[in-house]
Structure 1
Amino acid sequence: MSSLFRALRRTARVLRFLGYFTVRLVIANLVVAREIVTPGSGLSPGIVEFRLRTRTRTEIVSMALAVGLTPGTLTVAIRQHPPALFVHGMHAEDPAKFRAQLSRLQDHLLPALRPVAAGPTEPIRSAGGDSR
């Protein structure tokens, strides 16, 4: 039963990320469309260094891809040690606000990628399934 609980919890995390990312994607597309229709309406491009809380290369690459998929942002470079992305944004006039947006993306992405830990009452099993 606890493995079912972990599977449901992981599914909820993934769905929460997909919902968040879908909303961000729609908003970013609307902002870019507005820039196309009304040229010169206030672009403030910039590049910021964004430090990551990632543990694996997969998490680093997933974050870089999520940033790159969002219109108006682009991962320019990746540093592995310590992990960081250098991100270009069309609307990065306030670097702290831009980093906060990236941080919220990371806050939703990392739980979706990471496994759900065993509960405190559940024994942690070895690869062979032995609970000793």
Structure 2
Amino acid sequence: MSVGAGRRAVVRAGRILRFLGWFGARVVVANLVVAREILTPGWRLCPAIVRVPLIEASSTELALTALCVGLVPGTLTVAVRTAPPVLFVHGMYADDPDEFRREIVELERKLLLAVRPVGREPTTSAPTVGDVDGR
């Protein structure tokens, strides 16, 4: 293994670990929010299905993003469109659709940074303007 390949492996491993730490913290916080909702019904529940345009990604990256969204309590990927890449996500707390959309796009960006090879990081951001269904 060359020095460059070794450095890339270390950088990528660090990115994966950072993502897992960030995502793990997000899952814990989401669990606490959902637990609070269960203990105090009507706390701030505002369900909606939000259209989330994504960064151009491979089908594997799109599937990983959809799976990660579904792992976070309070969110569920309802539908996936590949061209252009769009997720339709049900959120229990989507009172501000633009903020909800930004959180999903942030998850996707951090995931792509972790899974893509060093030097092929996501450079463009997805559009944040979309529409909300189910309001």
Instruction: Please state whether the residue corresponding to 1:24 is helix, strand or coil.
Output: helix
**What residue number does 1:42 align with?**
44
Q: What's the TM-score once normalised by structure 1's chain length?
A: 0.86
Deviations along 1:34-66, one digit per CA (max 9) or x if unpaired, are 001111112000111111113210000000000
Alignment coverage as a number of residue pairs: 118
**What residue number does 1:17 align with?**
19
**Aligned residue type for 1:64:** A
Deviation, structure 1 residue 7: 0.1
**Aligned residue type for 2:95:** E
CA distance, structure 2, for counterparts of residue 54 and residue 27 of structure 1: 28
CA distance, structure 2, for counterparts of residue 100 and residue 30 of structure 1: 21
1:82 pairs, out of 84, 106, 110, with 84
| Aligned residues with identical type, % of pairs | 54
Instruction: Please state whether the residue corresponding to 2:119 is helix, strand or coil.
Output: coil
CA distance, structure 1, for counterparts of residue 8 and residue 38 of structure 2: 45
| Dislocated runs of 4+, deviation >6 Å | none
Instruction: Please state whether the residue corresponding to 1:74 is helix, strand or coil.
Output: strand
Deviations along 1:57-77, one digit per CA (max 9) or x if unpaired, are 000000000000000000000
**Aligned residue type for 1:30:** L
Q: CA RMSD in A?
A: 1.1
Deviation, structure 1 residue 117: 2.6
Deviation, structure 1 residue 113: 1.2
**Aligned residue type for 2:11:** R
CA distance, structure 2, for counterparts of residue 44 and residue 115 of structure 1: 38
1:59 pairs, out of 58, 61, 85, with 61
